[in-house]
Amino acid sequence: MQDTDVYHLLGSGLKRRLRCNGRVRVGLSADPLINKRLTNRLTEPLMTSPFMTLQEIVQQARKRLPRGEWDYLAGAAETETTLRRNRLAYDRLALRARVMSNVSQVQLQRKFLGVDLRLPVLLAPIGSLQMFDAGGGLTSARAAAQFGVMQILSSVCQPDFEAVARECPGPRVYQLYLHGTEDWAMETFARAKAAGYTALCLTADTQVYSRRERDILKRWVPLAARQEGTAQPKRPTHTLQNAMSWELVRRIKDRFGLPMIVKGIACAEDAELAVQNGVDVVYVSNHGGRQLDHGQATLDMLPEVVKAVAGRATVVCDGGIMRGTDVLKALALGADAVGIGRLEVLAMAAGGVPGIVRMLELLETEMQLNLASMGLNAIDQLTPASVVPAQPVGLPGVLSAFPLLAEDYGT
């Protein structure tokens, strides 16, 4: 089966392509609502020619996604102020350029938890990926493996984590929302370790589910928030996610002995507590602006977290990263790697596995060219002195990193 066959499969609406390491399986989605959505609403064909810019990926995703799924991806909590601040923080920094340097070779590789990455980029844990491509988390896994980065698989994705590990083996992280008891969480993490996951992740900034007004105004309920088999919202419940503690983090770390990631760190105080409790990766995040409204931008949080960690743990940062220059700025301020979420899903919606791989290739190209233009030949040469404050040139927004969207290129 050729890669282009996936376009015909999605066009028929009832199948998904499950492909990794040269093996292909085609089957029905586990959720009939997803099958119906893919059949009736994703009517635009996947682009078969290579994307030449990241903007083309965004344009194709917008054409293919229905309004509910688009708003779920593009929206944030309440006034969406935190989302805009995430983007504004990158726009307020300029890159400093040096000359007379040998940039004939530019090195972008970096290790993460002992794994060689082609780029210091992680595919962030995104819930309900199956809304954007029938392969769901497996699509993301295959793309990560094909390109050479690492996936953090969300626990609210289909197929389940064991199926993903079975179909696409390799190093990856399992992120678990604690929607059950501690015994349930321990059993689930034990299964993840047995399935071959090489690190574990807790998301700490989702104690409650925020008010996302784009969804509320349409009376649209995200897939992960629905009662099983219906479009009705789940009833609020109290779970371990509401009562997470550093003691629990320590117990998980001690029991399984795998690298531990805590995602959602937003200040120096919590970064220090994370390190004290055995956390290996301090993941700076505000959930893409989807939880706390009027919060800080993640890039603005990053320097104080890096200072507090003081080299005792790996630091990852996400939130608002849409271009190669954004990655360079985060690395300059001390991140060891970055997570990309919305950009990953845009690429998935635009082109499935090939779309994500192409997005990563374009991100790599932007990083190489801009690092060379700065007079640097390796990402390890980036320091806080590589960036300086600058006046933003436009209004921030979820897609403001693509200013030519306002013009008619590619439409």
C-alpha distances (whole Å) from 244 to each of 2, 7, 181, 202 are 46, 43, 11, 9
Using the predicted structure, report yes or no on whether residue 261 has a pLDDT greater than 70: yes
Q: Does the pLDDT of residue 34 top 80, yes or no?
A: no
Lowest mean pLDDT among 29-33, 324-328, 343-347, 396-400: 29-33
Q: What is residue 29's predicted lDDT score, i.e. its pLDDT?
A: 42
Q: Are 260 and 199 in contact (CB under 8 A)?
A: yes
Q: What percent of the chain has pLDDT over 70?
A: 84
- Write out pLDDT tens, residues 149-192: 999 999 999 999 999 999 999 999 999 999 899 999 999 999 99
Is residue 10 pLDDT above 50, yes or no? no
Which pLDDT belongs to residue 139? 98
Cα gap 325→338, rounded to integer Å: 12
With bands split at pLDDT 50, 70 and 90, how would you rate the model's confidence at 45?
Answer: low
DSSP string, 274-327: HHHTT-SEEEE--GGGTSSTT---HHHHHHHHHHHHTTSSEEEE-SS--SHHHH
pLDDT at res. 174: 98
239 compared with 71, residue with greater pLDDT = 71
Supply the pLDDT for residue 31: 46
Across the strands, what pairs with 265? Answer: 284
Asked, as a colleague might, if the bond just before 66 is cis with ω within 30 of 0, I would say no
pLDDT at 20 over 60: no
**Res. 388 pLDDT band, cuts 50 70 90:** very high
The answer to whether the CB of 92 falls within 8 A of the CB of 386 is: no
User: In whole angstroms, what is the distance from residue 335 CA to residue 325 CA?
Assistant: 14
CA-based nearest residue to 355, from 2, 1, 75, 6 = 6
Write down the pLDDT at residue 9.
32
Report yes or no: 153 and 173 within 8 Å, Cβ to Cβ. Answer: yes
Whole-number Å distance between alpha carbons of 11 and 44: 8
Higher pLDDT, 163 or 1: 163
Decide if 212 contacts 77 (C-beta within 8 A). Answer: yes
pLDDT band, very low/low/confident/very high, at 236 (cuts 50, 70, 90): low
294 flagged as catalytic:
no
Q: Is 32 exposed, middle or buried (0-12, 13-18, 19+ CB in 10 A)?
A: exposed
Q: Mean pLDDT, the chain, as a whole number?
A: 88
C-alpha to C-alpha distance for 208 and 210, rounded to whole angstroms: 6
Question: Looking at 42-51, 100-109, 345-354, which range is the least confident one?
Answer: 42-51
**Of the listed 8, 179, 238, 287, which one is catalytic?**
287
Mean pLDDT (whole number) for 146-150? 98
**What's the pLDDT score for residue 37?**
46
Return the exposure string of 317-331: e unless at least 16 CB atoms fall within 10 Å of the residue's CB, then b: bbbbbbbbbbbbbbb
Residue 40 reports pLDDT greater than 80: no
| Beta bridge partners of residue 147, listed in sequence order | none
Q: Cα dihedral sign for 295, 296, 299, 303? A: negative
pLDDT at 6 over 60: no
Higher pLDDT, 243 or 86: 86
Residues in the chain: 411
> pLDDT band at 226, cuts 50/70/90?
low
Q: Report the pLDDT value the prediction gives residue 193, as an integer from 0 to 100.
A: 98
Q: Which residue has the tokens 């993301």?
A: 140
Give the three-state DSSP class for 110.
strand
| Cα separation, 258 vs 254, whole angstroms | 9
Per-residue model confidence (pLDDT) at position 227: 66
Q: What is the mean pLDDT of residues 348-358?
A: 97
